[in-house]
């Protein structure tokens, strides 16, 4: 019987989802993205080589794994083409393995222009990738889907969309208008290039399931960036929780056997918004340096702080998390004391528990028995706090720096 996994971030993104999806994809027939766009940045490290992915599922480095981009994804054709080309240059051939839904909302140049202009006023600290404005267009039913690029009225639809957004850009934001002709030309070229990848993603997933193949659904961003459940308005513009798989991939999420939540052993956040456990002094600096906390997509430094176990527990309940993968535990090597928040009081102040650090190193450890005893106690304590088993632990950026206590495909 085939099993299907959902992998999603439980914090504010950048939990190390890409690394874990790459690892778990070795047992998958397919990996599918179902929301978000190239605001996501997933770094994989294999034999010392770093590969950054934004739109293509993180299963792509595993040969023979099929990769799908579902209708819930906001798709920038230029970014996708660039990514396919870069992977090709790095020796990863996608031939026949990539399928993209024709119902993805298109992200165009003008969306990036609007994103930047709007964020200068709103101060969310977006990635500037045009994701919010592209989803806005979808919800407002004026946007353009990937499949519309192949239809005869594409030029006129694009014209109408540019007319609308150029009005916003010039009259409201006081900026220069964007050039629709240039966008039309690049869309025509992109359509020609991407035609070969257009797939009925929902149907393809159904066939893989029927044939007994396991499917891994790869979430982007994280639970606390969810547009409804997150720290609104400091959120992204999509639903980031596994429930979004149903409409974003066209696959009933109740058929998923194991929901895997990825959590960093501490917390980070890029952009603005509340972050109760943030540490802006020496501790924050140390976490940032040891964890190399710089954004994959924008190069911005990530804000750092302590883990909020209370938020993990309620997030796990909300999304039916069966297993947690704890990443970047090695970053806490050398700390004498590690703080963990149990949640916030009525004034929003975190209620901390102080735990001892451990002697010895977690970095690079591959087996549970080889972890320092103190680190094992730390993990077991987090299991008690969150009431979810911590089935895997990541001890470094490399694929092999991974401890599997229970394989989510099996248990």
Binding mask 187-226 for ligand IMO (x = CB under 6 A): ---------------------------------xxx--x-
The edge-to-edge listing of strands for the beta sheet with 258-264 is: 98-100, 66-69, 30-33, 215-218, 4-9, 258-264, 323-327, 390-394, 402-404
Q: Does 18 bind ligand GDP (CB under 6 A)?
A: yes
Candidates 266, 299, 238; CA nearest to 11 is 266
171 catalytic residue (yes or no): no
Name the nearest CA neighbour of 402 among 294, 217, 262.
262
In the list 5, 69, 84, 131, the residue contacting ligand IMO (rule: CB under 6 A) is 131
Count the site residues for Mg ion by CB under 5 A. 3
Catalytic residue among 42, 54, 165, 401: 42
Report the nearest approach of ligand GDP to the CB of residue 67 (Å): 15
Q: Kindly tell me which of 191 and 273 has the beta carbon lying closer to ligand IMO.
A: 273
What's the N-to-C CA distance of the chain in angstroms? 13
Distance CA 216, CA 411 (A): 15
Rounded alpha-carbon distances, angstroms, from residue 3 to 78, 403, 405: 34, 21, 18
Phi, psi (degrees; rounded to nearest 5) at 229 = -95, -10
Q: Which token pair is 43?
A: 């770094």
133 part of the interface to ligand GDP, by CB under 6 A: no
Residue from 16, 37, 41, 248 binding Mg ion (CB under 5 A)? 41
Residue 369: other Cβ atoms inside 10 A: 7
Name the minimum Å distance from CB 154 to ligand IMO: 26
Query: Is residue 32 within 8 Å of residue 70, measured between CB atoms?
Result: yes
Task: State yes or no: residue 45 binds ligand GDP (CB under 6 A).
Answer: yes
Instruction: Give the 3-state secondary structure of residue 191.
Output: helix
- Whether the CB-CB separation of 266 and 291 falls below 8 Å is answered with yes
| Binding of residue 396 to ligand GDP (CB under 6 A) | yes
Known catalytic residue at 54: no
CB of 222 to ligand GDP, least distance (A): 8
Closer to ligand IMO by Cβ: residue 293 or 322:
293
Exposed e or buried b per residue across 203-239, where buried means at least 16 C-beta atoms within 10 angstroms of its C-beta? ebbeebbeeebbbbbbbbbbbbbbbebbeeebbbbbb
Note whether 14 binds Mg ion by CB under 5 A.
Answer: yes
In angstroms, the CA 260 to CA 214 distance is 14
Nearest residue to 81 (alpha-carbon basis) of 182, 186, 184, 157: 186
Pick one of 16, 77, 132, 284: the residue that binds ligand IMO (CB under 6 A).
Answer: 132
Measured from the CB atom, is 239 or 297 closer to Mg ion? 297
Which pair of tokens denotes residue 160?
């109408």
Q: How far is CA 382 from the centre of its chain?
A: 23
Nearer to Mg ion by Cβ, of 35 and 296: the residue is 296
By the rule CB under 5 A, 397 interacts with Mg ion? no
Question: Of 3, 42, 138, 165, which one interacts with ligand GDP (CB under 6 A)?
Answer: 42
Query: Minimal distance in Å, beta carbon 218 to ligand IMO?
Result: 9
Q: Which does 330 bind (CB under 5 to 8 A by kind): Mg ion, ligand IMO, ligand GDP, none?
A: ligand GDP
Contact residues for ligand GDP, defined by CB under 6 A: 9, 13-19, 41-43, 45, 291, 296, 327-328, 330-331, 394-397
Which residues are at the interface with Mg ion (CB under 5 A)?
A: 14, 41, 296
Active site residues: 14, 42
Footprint on this chain of ligand IMO (rule: CB under 6 A): 9, 12-14, 39-42, 124-127, 129, 131-132, 220-222, 225, 236-237, 270-271, 296
């Amino acid at each position: 019987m085939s099993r299907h996994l959902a992998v999603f971030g439980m914090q504010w993104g950048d939990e190390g989802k890409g690394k874990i999806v790459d690892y778990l994809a070795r047992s998958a027939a397919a990996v599918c993205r179902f929301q978000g766009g190239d605001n996501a940045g997933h770094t994989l490290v294999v034999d010392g080589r770093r590969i950054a992915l934004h739109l293509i599922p993180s299963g792509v480095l595993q040969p023979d794994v099929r990769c799908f981009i579902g209708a819930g994804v906001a798709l920038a054709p230029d970014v996708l083409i660039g990514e396919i080309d870069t992977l090709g240059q790095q020796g990863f051939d996608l031939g026949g393995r990539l399928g993209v839904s024709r119902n993805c909302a298109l992200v165009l140049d003008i969306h990036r222009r609007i994103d930047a202009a709007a964020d200068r006023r709103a101060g969310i600290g977006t990635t500037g990738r045009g994701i919010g404005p592209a989803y806005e267009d979808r919800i407002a039913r004026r946007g353009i889907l990937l499949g519309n690029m192949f239809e005869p009225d594409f030029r006129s639809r694009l014209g109408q969309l540019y007319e609308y957004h150029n009005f916003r850009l010039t009259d409201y934001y006081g900026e220069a208008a964007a050039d629709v002709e240039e966008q039309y030309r690049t869309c025509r070229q992109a359509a020609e290039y991407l035609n070969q990848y257009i797939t009925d993603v929902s149907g393809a997933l159904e066939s893989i399931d029927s044939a007994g193949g396991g499917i891994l659904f790869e979430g982007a961003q994280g639970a606390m960036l969810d547009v409804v459940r997150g720290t609104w308005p400091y959120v992204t513009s999509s639903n980031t929780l596994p429930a979004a798989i149903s409409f974003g991939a066209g696959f009933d999420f109740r058929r998923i056997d194991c929901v895997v939540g990825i959590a960093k052993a501490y917390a980070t956040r890029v952009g603005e918004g509340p972050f109760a456990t943030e540490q802006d002094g020496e501790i924050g600096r140390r976490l940032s340096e040891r964890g190399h906390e710089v954004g994959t997509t924008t190069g911005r430094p990530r804000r750092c702080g302590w883990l909020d176990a209370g938020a993990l527990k309620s997030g796990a309940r909300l999304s039916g998390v069966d297993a947690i993968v704890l990443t970047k535990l090695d970053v806490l090597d050398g700390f004498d004391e590690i703080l963990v928040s149990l949640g916030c009081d009525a004034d929003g102040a975190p209620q901390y528990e102080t735990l001892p650090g451990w002697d010895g190193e977690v970095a690079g450890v591959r087996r549970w028995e080889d972890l320092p005893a103190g680190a094992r106690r730390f993990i077991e304590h987090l299991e008690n706090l969150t009431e979810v088993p911590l089935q895997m632990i990541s001890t470094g950026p490399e694929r092999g720096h991974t401890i599997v206590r229970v394989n989510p495909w099996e248990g």
